[in-house]
């Protein structure tokens, strides 16, 4: 078996192989984009978890600096 047999002697198989090559290149770019987005999301979650842990280690659990769901939690501070 020679390379011309595997390539289909320039018939239908070669264009299919070329299309497959370009499709894989495009898929690789999409996968890289998705991987970068996933890594960025994980980094943000880790930063958020670190900030929460730091706030909880403060006196009163960091009640003066605690934010929950976009609203400041002032119930334990005593002033409203």
Number of Cβ within 10 Å of residue 35's Cβ equals: 10
67 contacts 55 by C-beta, under 8 angstroms = no
* pLDDT reading at 64 higher than 60: no
pTM for the structure as a whole: 0.50
**What are the structure tokens assigned to 41, written together?**
């999301």
* Bigger pLDDT: 42 vs 13: 42
State the average pLDDT for the chain.
Answer: 75
**What are the structure tokens assigned to 32, written together?**
């890289």
């Amino acid at each position: 078996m020679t390379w011309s047999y595997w390539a289909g002697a320039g018939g239908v198989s070669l264009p299919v192989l070329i299309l497959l090559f370009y499709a894989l290149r495009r898929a690789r770019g999409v996968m890289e984009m998705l991987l970068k987005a996933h890594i960025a999301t994980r980094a943000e979650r880790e930063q958020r978890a670190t900030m929460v842990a730091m706030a909880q280690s403060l006196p009163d659990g960091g009640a003066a600096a605690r934010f929950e769901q976009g609203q400041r939690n002032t119930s334990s501070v005593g002033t409203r």
